[in-house]
Chains A and B, each alone.
Chain A
Amino acid sequence: KNQVEQSPQSLIILEGKNCTLQCNYTVSPFSNLRWYKQDTGRGPVSLTIMTFSENTKSNGRYTATLDADTKQSSLHITASQLSDSASYICVVSGGSGGSYIPTFGRGTSLIVHP
């Protein structure tokens, strides 16, 4: 069964600090992995998308890495800001038999304190 596990479940950091969120998946064959930011009560917003051949992708203060061999990804946030407080969701597409339905992780809830 395709699964996406994220850790930690929640994280509290001080403004200006860096943090790293983790995503492990069992989706196979692998197509792509995406990180989304979701503010409470709003739709998810895409941060990065990576395919098999890409092992790092940056979007401003967000840097995602992918190790397709170990089926792990991380999202690093640099110099955090109060507006980074949100849920960060890892989504993996792929699967057997040509399945393309993305599998969602449960998300990491990040709180940035002043």
Chain B
Amino acid sequence: DTEVTQTPKHLVMGMTNKKSLKCEQHMGHRAMYWYKQKAKKPPELMFVYSYEKLSINESVPSRFSPECPNSSLLNLHLHALQPEDSALYLCASSLGLAGRYNEQFFGPGTRLTVL
């Protein structure tokens, strides 16, 4: 298995809803990432997990809560989002963090719309 999967593909939620995005990989990668991407912009890093521990939080608002239950899974819990949070949310994984090992493999993304 050489891919990163993300569910759901599309998500529409209200500002009071609680939802979760899921990401899974079975390539034995030990680093996993969440990115947010707005239209016609490059992906913006949100969180990095290394060996199931949160390594980097790029000053993301607390309404986004990441979770890494095991080495293959990465979740992003969403609560009380704002319309400006609507974007494509990308998950990525890599063998490690340093050097050539940080070549990232991306999932197809979840298109999130906040009403």
Interface residue count on the B side (C-beta < 8 Å): 25
Q: Are B100 and A107 closer than 8 Å at their CB atoms?
A: no
Q: Are B99 and A31 closer than 8 Å at their CB atoms?
A: yes
Bin the interface of chain A by size.
Answer: 20 to 34
A50 to nearest B CB, angstroms? Answer: 10
Number of A-B contacts (CB under 8 A): 56
Bound complex: CA A104 to CA B102 (Å): 14
Within 8 A of A (CB), among B99-113: 99-100, 102-109, 111
Q: Which residues of B contact A91 (CB under 8 A)?
A: 104
Q: Tell me whether A49 is interfacial, beta carbon within 8 Å.
A: yes
Residue of B nearest to A91 (CB): B104
B100 to nearest A CB, angstroms? Answer: 6
Q: Are B100 and A43 closer than 8 Å at their CB atoms?
A: no
Q: Tell me whether A106 is interfacial, beta carbon within 8 Å.
A: yes
Q: Which residues of B contact A89 (CB under 8 A)?
A: 42
Q: Tell me whether B78 is interfacial, beta carbon within 8 Å.
A: no
Interface residues of B (CB under 8 A from A): 4, 6, 40-43, 45, 48, 56, 88, 90, 92, 97-100, 102-109, 111
Known: A32-B102, A43-B6, A45-B106. 14 other contacts (CB 8 A): A31-B99, A31-B102, A42-B108, A43-B4, A43-B90, A43-B92, A44-B43, A44-B106, A100-B97, A101-B45, A104-B42, A106-B41, A106-B42, A107-B42
